[in-house]
């Protein structure tokens, strides 16, 4: 099916994690409002910098307090912690989906606490690829069109991808997706194949940061290790930093930095 005119704002938002603020049936979904990407002297190569970061969900009595993170450009960080320790919550803060309750949070040199929701969405669209735990593929788009979606939502990602369809093919091939899967819908793909599509979608347009939320949880050990290696190889080829969360300590060996979240969280006084 032709891509133009068949993508709702809802689907684009669920699939990519950012709100689409432009786009009508038949038009390319792409918000060209400029966000100014600043460099801050000695921190210009720091992709993520957090300090005393805290978050409290509405109606929850406990506060999630996160260890400080310093992630230089190109480094790969593994975040581990038991269920409920706040791994997904931390990724929602790093991606700008939620604004921190307290503490410092700089991503791509931007103070996320000071940006509006729309500017955080734009920053994420342009500079962060997200792999969701459930992949969030758009069910009525084939694998290739799912992968090129970020290029429709970000002029920067589109420009960096060059020819998005060709780049998507190259990425999916590098991630070992069989050629006959390229034009198939997600529901006809195995979990491992859907996972490769989700990874290619995060990688296209070489965003400086990839955030991955337990994308290997449904895989066996061999496929899990292979997927992590392929993902990190592609990220390294793009020069992208990676933050990968999992409860599985066996994956830690693939990463250059490690962070452990504990299950014990502070109670609010
Ligand atoms: N939308 C929400 N509203 C209210 N509380 C939430 C929400 N999302 C998460 N929480 C709570 O925040 C805490 C951390 O949840 P989170 O999903 O970040 O943990 P996790 O480490 O990713 O867990 P898992 O490994 O099971 O996915 C939990 O106590 C959870 O119940």
Q: pLDDT at position 61, please?
A: 85
Ligand 1 centroid to Cα of residue 57, in Å, is 9
Domain range summary for the chain, segments of one domain joined by +: 9-46+73-82+125-267
Assess whether pLDDT exceeds 70 at residue 35.
no
Burial (CB count within 10 angstroms: exposed 0-12, middle 13-18, buried 19+), residue 120: buried
Q: pLDDT at position 17, please?
A: 54
For residue range 219-265, what is the model confidence (pLDDT) as tens digits? 778 888 888 998 999 899 989 999 999 988 889 999 999 999 987 55
The response to whether residue 86 sits with its C-beta less than 6 Å from ligand 1 reads: yes
Mean pLDDT across the chain, nearest whole number? 83
Ligand 1 centroid to Cα of residue 53, in Å, is 16
Q: Hey, which of 53, 54, 57 would you mutate to test ligand 1's pocket, going by the most ligand atoms within 8 Å of its Cβ?
A: 57
The C-alpha atoms of residue 51 and residue 122 are separated, in whole angstroms, by 23
- Which CATH code fits 9-46+73-82+125-267? 3.40.50.300
The response to whether residue 89 sits with its C-beta less than 6 Å from ligand 1 reads: yes
Q: Give, as one character, the DSSP assignment of residue 107.
A: E
Q: pLDDT at position 167, please?
A: 96
Q: pLDDT at position 20, please?
A: 38
Q: How confident is the model at residue 215 (pLDDT cuts 50, 70, 90)?
A: confident
What is the average pLDDT across 146-161? 96
Assess whether pLDDT exceeds 60 at residue 173.
yes
The response to whether residue 263 sits with its C-beta less than 6 Å from ligand 1 reads: no
Ligand 1 centroid to Cα of residue 10, in Å, is 23
Q: pLDDT at position 37, please?
A: 43
For residue range 94-144, what is the model confidence (pLDDT) as tens digits? 999 999 889 999 999 999 999 999 999 999 999 999 999 889 999 999 999
**What ipTM was assigned to the predicted interfaces of this complex?**
0.98
Q: pLDDT at position 2, please?
A: 34
Contacts with 72 (C-beta within 8 Å, 6 or more apart), sequence order? 45, 46, 47, 241
Choose among 144, 145, 126, 146: nearest CA to 136.
Answer: 146
Ligand 1 centroid to Cα of residue 64, in Å, is 10
């Amino acid at each position: 099916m032709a891509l133009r005119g068949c993508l709702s704002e809802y689907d684009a938002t669920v699939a990519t994690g950012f709100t689409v603020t432009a786009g009508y049936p038949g038009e390319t979904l792409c918000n060209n409002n400029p966000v100014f990407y600043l460099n801050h002297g000695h921190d210009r190569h720091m992709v993520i910098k957090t300090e005393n970061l805290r978050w409290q969900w509405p109606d929850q009595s406990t506060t999630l307090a996160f260890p400080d993170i310093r992630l230089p450009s190109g480094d790969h960080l593994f975040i581990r912690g038991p269920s409920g320790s706040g791994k997904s919550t931390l990724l929602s803060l790093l991606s700008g989906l939620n604004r921190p309750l307290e503490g410092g949070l700089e991503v791509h040199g931007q103070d996320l606490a000071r940006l509006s929701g729309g500017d955080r969405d734009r920053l994420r669209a342009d500079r962060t690829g997200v792999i969701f735990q459930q992949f969030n593929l758009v069910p009525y788009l084939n694998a290739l069109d799912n992968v090129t979606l970020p290029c429709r939502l970000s002029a920067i990602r589109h420009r960096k991808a060059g020819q998005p369809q060709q780049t998507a093919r190259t990425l999916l091939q590098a991630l070992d997706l069989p050629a006959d899967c390229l034009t198939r819908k997600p529901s006809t793909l195995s979990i491992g194949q859907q996972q490769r599509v989700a990874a290619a979608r995060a990688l296209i347009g070489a965003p400086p940061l990839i955030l991955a939320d337990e994308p290997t949880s449904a895989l066996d050990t061999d496929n899990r290790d292979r997927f992590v290696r392929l993902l990190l190889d592609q990220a390294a080829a793009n020069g992208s930093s990676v933050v990968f969360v999992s409860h599985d300590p066996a994956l830690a060996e693939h990463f250059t930095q490690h962070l452990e979240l504990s299950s014990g969280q502070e109670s609010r006084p």
